[in-house]
Chain A
Amino acid sequence: MKLLTANRLIDGEVVWLAADGHWAEDITEAEIARDEEAIERLERTGREAAARNEVVDVNLIDVEFVDGAIRPIRLRERIRAAGPSIHPDLGKQARRGVLAPV
């Protein structure tokens, strides 16, 4: 299972591509690609968004479900999804009030 992630050009905010095509600031809104066709669609959308200068550094990341919640497999992506592990008061984790599992 994969998600498409990027940073928003104008402010660097971490975003994921959502099912309706918008770039979501919360990983829980991301579209999950489960097969090759869906992965290709994500990649194509990402290339187009980068070409339109909406986002930069577009990447597919591996995810899994843990206790019903989406969770990136790599620690790096879990930290991107939550914010710095040393600052629970900063980043997305602060906004949601929920600490994503590091």
Chain B
Amino acid sequence: MYRYDEFDHAFVKARVAEFGDQVGRRLSGELTEDQFKPLRLMNGVYLQLHAYMLRIAIPYGTLSSRQMRMLAHIARTYDKGYGHFTTRQNLQFHWPALKDIPQILEDLATVEMHAIQTSGNCIRNVTADHFAGAAADEVADPRPYAEILRQWSSLHPEFSYLPRKFKIAVTGAERDRAAVQVHDIGLHLRKDASGRLGFTVYVGGGLGRTPMIGKKIRDFLPEEDLLSYTTAILRVYNLHGRRDNKYKARIKILVHETGTEELAAQVEKEFEALKESELKLPEADIQAIDAYFAPPALPARPEGDAALKAATAADGGFADWVRRNLNTHKNPDYASVTISLKGIGEVPGDASADQMDAVADLAERYGFDEIRVSHEQNLILPHVARADLRAVFDRLVEIGLATSNAGLVTDIIACPGLDYCALANARSIPVAQQISTRFASQARQEEIGDLKIKISGCINACGHHHVGHIGILGVEKKGAELYQVTLGGSGDENTSIGEIVGRGFGPDEIVDAVDTIVETYLAHRQDKDEPFLAAYRRLGSAPFKEALYGREAKAA
């Protein structure tokens, strides 16, 4: 993985010292809250309901064991013994004291981590496919490009005061696991007819109060033009993006109001001027970054097949896990393992310090020292020999992280919601916990098959509810929580925004409503091979409305 060079070390060290000084001046009263707030936000520090929150960047979701152990150390030393992995592949601590944050950032810097650009109107953490560098269906590893974008965008003077925040995602496989079409810029890495690497470029995707699917403005952008083209997009946005209304300030609104064709023309015009500038990526530079992401040398482990057969035959629990939580690796002796942070009835995305340490140990012993955070709030060991899967599973059982539910109805995304977040209108996590408990049966979950439930506690949509097969949005109505349901959303290569099914449900009704939706799907699907999303796209909302609202819906 990427290692800091001297410049990176000096840069992060200087930033830690600067923020330490700013915190000191705030605590002494030299800075007012109005002066300090934008400074703390530039360093990932929010004020939430119970305490401050520190959001730590995990570039493209990649972590080493040493870094994971540091997160565990911080959780134990400065927080309440746990952390929350987010839908942006980051980690949030929900209880740090402001006075301790400079020391936390110093500790983080020792393992090449920081919290820069995890908030504010700048280019945020660049996200990528969590199986990058390992997946069998990958054209190329998207992370070198994500790293190039990270270096280019870090404290970029021209793009530090954008109209609004800006999110870029990169995927390297035909199957999009990074939800690129709901990002400000989505990059889909592919090869052209001659075998050259480049990107399909989407712009203006996003969720929030105005969900939009990104518009394709380039079929194929050669890799050497990555920064010049991205700069061209950002320049057009920085110049024309609305600054008069926070809710209309994202690039998706600019694209919508300008029209895709006109916007693409403006970008192309800027790009023409930049194309042959110093932003053009030299082949040697791409290769230098590529080298950091060279896959580990994976020794042949052909004994895996026999070992797996024996182990799965002997133990049903292990067989479930093998069936659900593995992704096909480029090397047939290996697999990518999803470590579910969605234990039945647990808080989605939370991990205790002990669990973090145990995952770090597993990565070191069996996983070539690599860990990933997925935007679905799980952890990944990208390279595990199939022969070692049993040992990994056994240890995961011991630490309570062996739930066999990747991609199933209990693998729910949920934002922190009103249990923590100052923006939330309703709680998300308790709804996720109750749905998880309702669908606890492994047999029933597998009978239902692939089904993504995503829950947000406010319209800002951190829980990605718009692209949930079943999306749940918590709102406040007459002082009480109310949950609005959308159906048919999807955040993959066939992205769609879910449609509101009807009136919302109270906290005591929402789990039954989800159950009704699932039962309606089971009753109407053509066969077991027709997943929920395909069935919904074929059937439309009518049978679900009728099941949920009965005659009332028919009359409407």
Contacts and interface: CB of A to CB of B under 8 A. Distances in A.
Given A10-B99, A11-B99, A79 B418 contact: yes
Interface stretch (A16-24, A27-35, A38-46, A49-57): A49-57
B479 interface: yes
A14 B50 contact: yes
Given A10-B98, A50-B33, A52-B29, A73 B51 contact: no
Interface string A44-76: 000000101100110000000000000001111
Contact of B479 (A56, A57, A73, A79): A73
Interface string B14-34: 000000000000110100110
Instruction: Give me the 3 closest cross-chain CB pairs, A-B, nearest first.
Output: A11-B97, A12-B51, A84-B419
Interface string B412-433: 0000001110001001011001
Given A73-B479, A75-B481, A84-B50, A10 B33 contact: no
B99 A90 contact: no
7 contacts: A9-B27, A74-B479, A76-B49, A79-B427, A84-B419, A86-B433, A91-B50
A90 B75 CA distance: 14
Given A10-B99, A12-B98, A79 B33 contact: no
Contacts of A83: 50
B47 A12 contact: yes
B52 interface: yes
Contact of A75 (B26, B420, B479): B479
Interface residues of B, number: 30
Contacts of B80: 90
A56 B97 contact: no
Contacts of A91: 50
A80 interface: yes
Contact of A53 (B26, B51, B96): B26
A74 B96 CA distance: 25
B433 A76 contact: no
Interface residues of A, number: 25
Interface in B87-125: 95-99
Nearest to B100: A11
B151 to A, nearest CB: 33
B29 A79 contact: no
Contacts of A9: 26-27, 33, 98
Contacts of B480: 75
Contact of B419 (A12, A56, A79): A79
Contacts of A87: 419
B429 A79 contact: no
Contacts of B430: 85-86
B401 interface: no
Contacts of B27: 9-10, 53
A5 to B, nearest CB: 11
A61 B52 CA distance: 20
B97 A12 contact: yes
A7 B46 CA distance: 12
Nearest to B420: A84
B419 A86 contact: yes
B70 interface: no
B347 interface: yes
B345 to A, nearest CB: 10
Nearest to A83: B50
Nearest to A89: B80
A13 B419 contact: no
Nearest to B346: A86
Looking at A12, A73, A83, which has the most chain B CB atoms within 10 Å of its CB? A12
Interface in B29-83: 29, 32-33, 47-52, 80
A14 B304 CA distance: 54
A84 B50 CA distance: 8
A87 B95 CA distance: 13
A87 B350 CA distance: 12
B434 to A, nearest CB: 11
Given A12-B48, A85-B419, A85-B430, 10 more contacts: A9-B27, A10-B27, A11-B98, A12-B47, A14-B49, A14-B51, A53-B33, A79-B419, A83-B50, A90-B95
Contacts of A75: 418, 476, 479-481
A56 B47 contact: yes
Nearest to A102: B427
Given A9-B26, A10-B97, A56-B33, A86 B429 contact: yes
A80 B33 contact: no
Nearest to A56: B33
Contacts of B50: 12, 14, 80, 83-84, 91
